[in-house]
Amino acid sequence: MTGESDHEFHPEVIGEWSEEATFTVDRERAFRYAEATNDETRQHLDGTYAPPVFAVVPPLHLLAATTMAAVPDELMLRILHGEQDFRFYRPIVPGDQLVSRAKVIGIHGKASGVVVTTVAQTRDQAGELVNEQYFAGFFRRGRWSRADGQPAGKHAFDDGLRSRAADAQVTQGFDEDQTFRYADASGDPMPIHTDEEFARQMGLPGIIIHGLCTMAFTSRAMIGHACPQDPALLKRLAVRFTAPAYPGSTITTSIWKTGTADGRDRYAFETATDGGKFVIKDGLAEVAS
């Protein structure tokens, strides 16, 4: 690292489940989330299912609080969303009474910062697992000379795939008011997405699209390509966020099918802006075949 002393991260919280949080899925809230991500999937607009990335909404604040319990106060505002990995066991439906819990599973020092990895589990009233999600928060310029616990599951992109054309490319555009709509529907109040002045104070050229909003767009691209008749066939969606997207910009997701195993078709994908800058790399999707 740099020779400076480590920041005071809290590895003692690793493996400790949080208290549970309950969430009732309101049909209007699920619909607003679909609308806020420009989702035109029939089952997401008619109330059959909530969109897949809506899975972040029930445990959102619990996930954030659990992650920050491992982080020293002076680094909390330096967080970037590094990776997100959803495992879907069944879709969320309006009327669900959901119970979530979360725990930090790892703290890993890197050359330019520290990664804190947290997992959240969401169950229904019967105690059945609805989804799991792994969140990796990257704390810029944090110092931690150790590797405690475990990282999230791997989903690296095979560069050899670029030797052939993508099986599909899906182009989508963000609206100018996208971040305001998403902040309301998701319950994510981070001001870098809605306050120009604050975003500039954080070293950004302006407000940026929420990473999970970008991920929701890629879920639409994947569903449209791989399972347009039944979005519930999407069983895993994992990404690494590499750069922010901005309101009014256009993104293109390139998709390659990489094989079938254990009853699932596997796809690799990556997403770039109209300027050619990658906003998502190491994308992985698994679709029940």
Q: 1-153 maps to which CATH number?
A: 3.10.129.10
| pLDDT value for 239 | 98
| pLDDT value for 1 | 46
Q: What are the domain boundaries of the chain?
A: 1-153, 154-289
Which residue, chain included where needed, has tokens 């400790």?
A: 16
pLDDT (tens, 9 = 90+) of the chain, 289 residues, equals 456 899 999 999 999 999 999 999 999 999 999 999 999 999 999 999 999 999 999 999 999 999 999 999 999 988 989 999 999 999 999 999 999 999 999 999 999 999 999 999 999 999 999 999 999 999 999 999 999 999 888 899 999 999 999 999 999 999 999 999 999 999 998 899 999 999 999 888 999 999 999 999 999 999 999 999 999 999 999 999 999 999 999 999 999 999 999 999 999 999 999 999 999 999 999 999 9
Q: How many degrees, rounded to 5, is the angle at CA 184 between CA 178 and CA 185?
A: 85
| pLDDT value for 202 | 83
Q: Which CATH superfamily is domain 154-289 in?
A: Hotdog Thioesterase (3.10.129.10)
Same fold for the pair 1-153 and 154-289: yes
Of 68, 64, 39, 40, which Cα lies nearest the Cα of 53? 39
Distance from C-alpha of 50 to C-alpha of 35, rounded to nearest angstrom: 11
Distance from C-alpha of 272 to C-alpha of 267, rounded to nearest angstrom: 17
Two tokens, residue 150: 């475990």
| pLDDT value for 3 | 66
